[in-house]
Structure 1
Amino acid sequence: MSVSVLCAVDISNRDQDVGVLRQAARMADLDSARLDVMTVLPDFGETWVSGFFEKDHHDKAIEAAHAQLVRLCTETLGEERNASIRHVVATGTAYKEILKVADAARSDLIVVGAHKPDLRDYLLGPNASRVVRHAPVSVFVVRG
């Protein structure tokens, strides 16, 4: 029985993650669990790359990502369902941030997508496979 389900989506793959989001919502609804939906932005702030961006670039990127995440949830699940979702935007390495958010939210289940796998990843994307290997809770992988 799940109390909290964390769904990780890549907002740059909008159409591909619609199925991931729908599956996470179905699984959360089965147990009347809270649904948290997150996305992870790359961290440009701690590298020499950050010098090429305006100082408020990160804040603007977070705001834009949050708006896009809310829009994805609303368009996919409807306004009523979206109202009860916690939307989270993290910055950093995708699998590390997914695990951090799952721990902080005390998630019982993590739902991730596996898109465009490379043969060296044994038919599972690199972030999804790392989440599966390192998560202390169950992980449901939705193939896209």
Structure 2
Amino acid sequence: MSKSVLCALELSDAALDRKVLEQAARLAALDEAQLDVVNVLPDFGESWVSGFFEEHHHDKAVKDTTAHLRDLCEEVLGAERNAKVRHVVATGTAYQEILQVAAKAGTDLIVIGAHKPDLKDYLLGPNAARVIRHSDCSVYVVR
């Protein structure tokens, strides 16, 4: 029985994001579990890349991403259900941040989307594979 379901969205593939969110909502509803939705932004803060962005760029990206998550959840789940969803925007390495958010929330189940792997994914490992490999809770993968 799940008490908390974490839905990890990339926000780069609208069709896959909708499928992942719909499945996460169904699984959360089965046990009347809390539904959390997370997206992870890359961290440019300490790298040489950060010099190309204005100081407030990260804050604006978090604000815009949070609004995008809320809008997507409202569109897919409806306003009433969306009001109960916790929308989380983290910054860092995707799989590490997903696992940290899951640990902090006491997540029992992570729902994540997976793309068909490219050759580079066999060498580096996609985020979904890393989440599965390192997670302390169950992971449901949506294709």
Query: What TM-score, normalized to structure 1?
Result: 0.94
Residue of structure 1 in register with 2:136 after alignment: 136
Which stretches in structure 2 are left out of the alignment for 5+ residues? none
Q: CA offset at residue 120 of structure 1?
A: 5.7
Partner of 1:104: 104
Deviation at 1:73, TM superposition (A): 0.5
Report SS of the residue matched to 2:35.
Answer: strand
User: How big is the shift at 1:17?
Assistant: 0.8
2:32 alignment partner AA: S
3-state SS of the aligned residue for 2:58?
A: helix
Q: Which residue of 1 aligns with 2:34?
A: 34
**Amino acid across the alignment from 1:99:** L
Distance 2:70 2:56 in 1: 21
Root mean square deviation of aligned Cα: 1.2
- SS in structure 1 of the partner of residue 12 of structure 2: helix
Deviation string, structure 1 residues 64-99 (Cα, Å, up to 9, x no partner): 000001011011111111010000000111000000
For 2:56 and 2:121, locate their aligned partners in 1 and report how far apart those are by CA, in whole Å: 36
Partner Cα distance (2:121, 2:51) in 1: 33
Q: Match of 1:118, as an amino acid?
A: D
- Could you tell me how far apart the structure 2 residues matched to 1:93 and 1:29 are? 29
Give the length in aligned residue pairs: 141
Partners of 2:103 and 2:17 lie apart in 1 by: 22
| 1:94 has 2:94 as partner | yes
Contact 1:14–1:72 (Cα < 8 Å) also in 2: no
User: After superposition, where does 1:10-29 map in structure 2 within 5 Å?
Assistant: 10-29=10-29
Q: Indicate the residue corresponding to 1:84 in structure 2.
A: 84
Runs (4+) off by over 6 Å: none
